[in-house]
Chains A and B, each alone.
Chain A
Amino acid sequence: MSDHHEHSAHGGEEGHSPEHAHEHHEQSFLSKYVFSMDHKVIARQFLITAVVMALVGMVMSSLFRLQLGWPNHKFWLIEYLLGDHWGKGGTIDPNMYLALVTIHGTIMVFFLLTGGLSGTFANLLIPYQVGARDMASGFLNMLSFWFFLISSVVMLCSLFVEGGPASSGWTVYPPLSALPQAIPGSGTGMTLWLLSITLFVISALLGGLNYIITVFNMRTKGMSMTRLPLTIWAFLVTAILGVLSFPVLVSAVVLLLMDRTFGTSFYLSDIYIGGQALESSGGSPILYQHLFWFLGHPEVYIVLLPALGIASEVIATQARKPIFGYRAMIGSILAIGFLSFIVWGHHMFITGMNPFLGSVFVFTTLLIAIPSAVKAFNYITTLWKGNIKFTPAMLFAIGLVSTFVTGGVTGIILADSALDVPVHDTYFVVAHFHIVMGLSAVLGMFAGVYHWFPKLFLRQMNKKMGYLHFWLTFVCAYGTFFPMHFLGLAGVPRRYYTNSAFPMFDQLVNLNMLVSVFAIVGALAQFIFVFNFFYSMFRGPKSEQNPWHSNALEWTTPMAHTHGNWPGALPVVHRWAYDYSKPGKRLDYVPQTVPLEEGEIDGGGH
């Protein structure tokens, strides 16, 4: 035990040379898998936690889709899962419906697509792909996971308190989220929500700072910034966005906590509720929205960029072609990252914000379409004249490009303030952000899991189940979210427990049923993935060292989880990561560690 102690105490600082690691290879289970500071183990911890959280979020969505597809019908499953208070007689209580919607959104945005996606792949790939033995600080990295886990546990605990979990929508706008008189979920459940998110932000900051420092300082010899795979560029910009914007969310959350607990009025003014006039005066609920969306919009790209990074790597590798326009891709990532900070107001066009300010946000928001278009066209040109190998990961990556475009184009309508007015907060918005952000990021995450499963668990995932999982997921995803555009254009508002109070929406019942059927089949299809995931983890066929014939550095490490990643010296990098099918080469890939031949130009001829 003391042996292990010494090891972990020095491990982080010395960059642990492999010889050193070999002296202490007998680690206890606890230090190897639980309190580990190894980036590969932490990546696995993030991934498994996120999968569990995502299943909770997914089951929630299936429950409220039952209610929306078959309003006020009775389902034993609802009573079984929600109990006889919230699911009395088999229908969801309206307050619980709002709670399910809220926690579904929170889990998917924060726990799956921020913590899960960046936590898994930034941790796994940054040290591997820049050629480092581990993260800059293994200890902070471990803390990042533990804060994430505690935050997840607090969020799950909030499901069981009196009054139910937070239920004012995932954006928790005050005064609804500030006043327990307004909705039962704004009692203890809301306090736990705020606590959980604060812990989550600590986790995100510890992780993000680590990623940034590792990319800037720990690249191996020859790994210049313009030789980095696009995954690393995406993780880097994501981490910078997170570090700059998450603290603002904490400030919003802390002020809300003060309003709820200590009687301040940052967000409250002129309120009469529950038969009495409150003392609060001078606050503004709109202030909260500004603070929230100052994180909230960069958050969209915190979710999306890692997925796009993963897609770049997978598409180039499996199309056996260099990613088209490598430098333009970096430029677009940077442009998207920068612009994401000055567009938050497009969530607030109809809050009574000054119309001129609205115009500015229209302009900046629509500008984002340009780098996004560049990325989409570059992916397509990468496929053009490729030699495409359809691994399950490649299918997911292509699916991502499709959802990124299909969901992205409707953003052009929502970003246009005048056109936003009739569709704001309708199902049109639900369709837009689920397709462009939710689906793209989820498909990207699946692509990452299938592609790097051999690096995560040393084995291959089952291919046939992978294909089945992809097709069911992809078809059901479009089947679920595409028809929502029509619901939105028909004026159906989001977050309605039922539309039955409005006869004008009666004709849309069938459409809602169609959506629900796709949603539930799609949800069931995810169990194929879960099964494949755990089955392959233990019993899948062992993977060879470089199964996809990839150029990137992670595949130059042996198929074993060695501490310090490379058994010998660190690799030296001689070229960019995208020399696929280069003319005059024997093989259709040239790993980054292969020296340039005489007269050979690096980086696709730049």
Chain B
Amino acid sequence: MIQVLVYVAIVLLIITVAQLVRVFELASELKGAKSNEVNYKDHRTQGKLIMGFLIAFFAFFIWQVFNYKDMLLPEAASVHGKDLDWLMWFNMWLVIIVFFIINFLLFYFAYKYYSRPDSMATYYPHNNKLEMIWTVVPAIVLAVIIILGLKMWNTITEPASQDAIVIELYAKQFDWTARYAGKDNVLGRSNFKNIGGANALGMDTLDPAGLDDIVVHNELHIPVGKQIEFKINSRDVIHSAFMPHFRIQMNAVPGMTTSMHMTPSITTDEMRRKPYVIDQVKRINEIRAKKGEEPYEFNYILLCNKICGASHSNMQMNVVVDTQEQYDTWLGQQKAFFAKK
């Protein structure tokens, strides 16, 4: 019953608005003004609004920068990440400058040249010199961007060094598993057909290289200053291994092993001691306390960044960057997967 009343109310509201608009139109018709025709008053009003918008828009941008800059990711915690961040902000500043200049020109000209009763437009159909300038200048700037970008791209995609620590990241709906290659630093063969029971990764029992492999479910430990090569696999749908703090990301594709590598440069403990990270964590914990949630401690994280199903938004694994000693101790406590049986 209430539903019907709501529908009736909505219909009546629409009819009322339509009648009101009609009344306004008839009233202004009586006054003899062509009220719906755009006139000089409108040009002036809209021109000023455009200028107002420009100022508000830039103010909004600056306000956001000041408000949210502390909420961005902390400094990159990997060796290549530092260079990548430099390049990112080089490009970002370039982009921001272009954003300011072009939006300014656009809105300022729109305001400055709004139609006045006696104004005339200037017939100015083209100017080859000007057009040449704004073809060539962007081309040069882009050439710089491309060269710097591809240099960086080559660095991060070059094959990992021979002595990199090999770790498999294995994705399935909706969690991550890590497999360490053990003393031989070679991952044993695996096949999805072997999956069953505790053997969630489908490891091949006959491959001697796999005998010392260590399977870890809860936390990924890596040593600082050593190159780590991740071999990434999935058993069901496409996932994506994203570690925002290390500025690395790679898809996990069923039927195909992908890889990425990086060298962590800041341990978890060091990161937790940085003043701005302490500030950030403090802010977060104030918010969490209000909601009655457990306090948070800074952690590096591995998360899934390719839509993969209902619990996509909770497919994560903590990453701990240890000092070499911490790492060796931790690794010493782990048992090889096949040794557990």
Task: Contact check, A95 vs B130: say whether CB atoms are below 8 A apart.
Answer: no
User: Which A-chain residue is minimally distant from B291 (CB atoms)?
Assistant: A506
Which chain B residues (118-132) contact chain A, with CB distance < 8 Å? 119-127, 130-131
Task: Contact check, A419 vs B91: say whether CB atoms are below 8 A apart.
Answer: yes
B84 within 8 A of A: yes
Task: Contact check, A416 vs B149: say whether CB atoms are below 8 A apart.
Answer: yes
Task: Contact check, A419 vs B68: say whether CB atoms are below 8 A apart.
Answer: no
Task: Contact check, B91 vs A421: say whether CB atoms are below 8 A apart.
Answer: no
Most interface-central of B38, B242, B280, B283 (chain A CB within 10 A): B38
Which stretch in A110-118, A147-155, A268-276, A559-567 binds the other chain?
A268-276
Task: Contact check, B106 vs A326: say whether CB atoms are below 8 A apart.
Answer: no
Cα–Cα, bound, A507→B92 (Å)? 23
B331 within 8 A of A: no
Task: Contact check, A389 vs B43: say whether CB atoms are below 8 A apart.
Answer: yes
Q: How many residues of A contact B (CB 8 A)?
A: 127
Cα–Cα, bound, A603→B126 (Å)? 10
CB-CB under 8 A from B113, the residues of chain A are 319, 383-388
Task: Contact check, A350 vs B22: say whether CB atoms are below 8 A apart.
Answer: no
**Min distance, Cβ B277 to any Cβ of chain A, angstroms:** 11
**Min distance, Cβ B134 to any Cβ of chain A, angstroms:** 4
**Contact check: which of A395, A483, A507 meets B287 at CB < 8 Å?**
A507
CB-CB under 8 A from B21, the residues of chain A are 462, 465, 535
A89 within 8 A of B: no
Task: Contact check, B43 vs A497: say whether CB atoms are below 8 A apart.
Answer: no
Cα–Cα, bound, A327→B125 (Å)? 10
**Contact check: which of B122, B250, B288 meets A581 at CB < 8 Å?**
B122
Which chain A residues (378-419) contact chain B, with CB distance < 8 Å? 378-381, 383-391, 395, 398, 401-402, 405-406, 409-410, 412-413, 416-419
B305 within 8 A of A: yes
B109 within 8 A of A: yes
Cα–Cα, bound, A326→B154 (Å)? 40
Task: Contact check, B68 vs A417: say whether CB atoms are below 8 A apart.
Answer: no
B153 within 8 A of A: yes
Task: Contact check, A541 vs B25: say whether CB atoms are below 8 A apart.
Answer: yes
**Min distance, Cβ B276 to any Cβ of chain A, angstroms:** 13
Task: Contact check, B255 vs A483: say whether CB atoms are below 8 A apart.
Answer: no
Most interface-central of B46, B110, B125, B258 (chain A CB within 10 A): B125
Task: Contact check, A381 vs B130: say whether CB atoms are below 8 A apart.
Answer: yes
A359 within 8 A of B: yes
Task: Contact check, B307 vs A324: say whether CB atoms are below 8 A apart.
Answer: no
**Min distance, Cβ B29 to any Cβ of chain A, angstroms:** 8
Chain A 496-540, CB within 8 Å of chain B: the 1/0 string? 111101111011110100000000000000000001000100011
**Min distance, Cβ A293 to any Cβ of chain B, angstroms:** 14
Given A270-B255, A373-B134, residue A405 in contact with residue B310 (CB < 8 A): no
Task: Contact check, B125 vs A425: say whether CB atoms are below 8 A apart.
Answer: no
B145 within 8 A of A: yes
Cα–Cα, bound, A475→B60 (Å)? 11
Most interface-central of A270, A273, A286, A511 (chain B CB within 10 A): A270
Given A277-B195, A388-B113, residue A412 in contact with residue B121 (CB < 8 A): no
Given A324-B125, A463-B42, residue A493 in contact with residue B242 (CB < 8 A): yes
Chain A 296-314, CB within 8 Å of chain B: the 1/0 string? 0000000000000000000
Task: Contact check, B255 vs A271: say whether CB atoms are below 8 A apart.
Answer: yes
Which chain A residues (332-369) contact chain B, with CB distance < 8 Å? 350-352, 355, 358-359, 362-363, 366-367, 369
Task: Contact check, A270 vs B235: say whether CB atoms are below 8 A apart.
Answer: yes
Cα–Cα, bound, A326→B131 (Å)? 11
Task: Contact check, A355 vs B154: say whether CB atoms are below 8 A apart.
Answer: yes
User: Which A-chain residue is minimally distant from B242 (CB atoms)?
Assistant: A493
7 further A-B pairs in the complex, CB-CB below 8 A; given A320-B120, A507-B283: A173-B306, A326-B125, A390-B115, A398-B50, A405-B98, A417-B149, A499-B313
A-B contact pairs, 15 of them (CB 8 A): A168-B307, A173-B306, A182-B173, A268-B254, A271-B235, A273-B235, A285-B255, A370-B138, A389-B38, A390-B43, A413-B95, A417-B153, A421-B84, A425-B240, A507-B280
Q: Please list the 9 inter-chain residue pairs (A to B) with the smallest Cβ-Cβ separation, ordered nearest first.
A: A604-B125, A269-B255, A491-B244, A352-B258, A390-B46, A503-B296, A355-B157, A418-B152, A496-B313
